[in-house]
Structure 1
Amino acid sequence: MNKPATFETGIKKLLVFLGLLILSPLILSIAFKALRIFKEAPKIFIAYGLLAIGILLVLFTVYFGFKAFKTILDYIFSK
């Protein structure tokens, strides 16, 4: 059974979403700078790893944003 959405969980999800909204472009920017700087074998793999993590974080941020706003809207428009 689904438990009803509460305002507190919606606000917590919104705060996590805002943190991800700041963190994901930051990691992506660091990854692109690392790709431009590093040309050697061990460090380039770290740059590609950061790039993959950054892209996954951006996608998760979009998903989590929809989930956070849906929780808040469910609370507002319930009964």
Structure 2
Amino acid sequence: MELPKFLLGDNTDCAKDIFVIHTDFPRFIINLLDDEIEWLEDFQGEDQQELETQVATLIEEASEFYDREMERYGNE
């Protein structure tokens, strides 16, 4: 199975939170409510440095994905 790059996550225990799951490396879940990220990878040394340069771009891509999905829901 090929997963899309981003998925929306929902949980009624966290009704106000907006979760986006990034399925490519580096895998993570971001809560767009506060931009908190939970990494699903273990990083060390050089990986950590590369990750830090990608974080802003990944957050922006996740936000754009969410906005696009909400626009599509609104058009249905």
Structure 2 length-normalised TM: 0.46
Bigger strand share: 2
Higher fraction of helix? 1
TM-score (norm 1): 0.45
Kindly name which structure, 1 or 2, has the bigger radius of gyration based on alpha carbons.
1
Bigger relative contact order, structure 1 or 2, given CA contacts below 8 A and separation 6+? 1
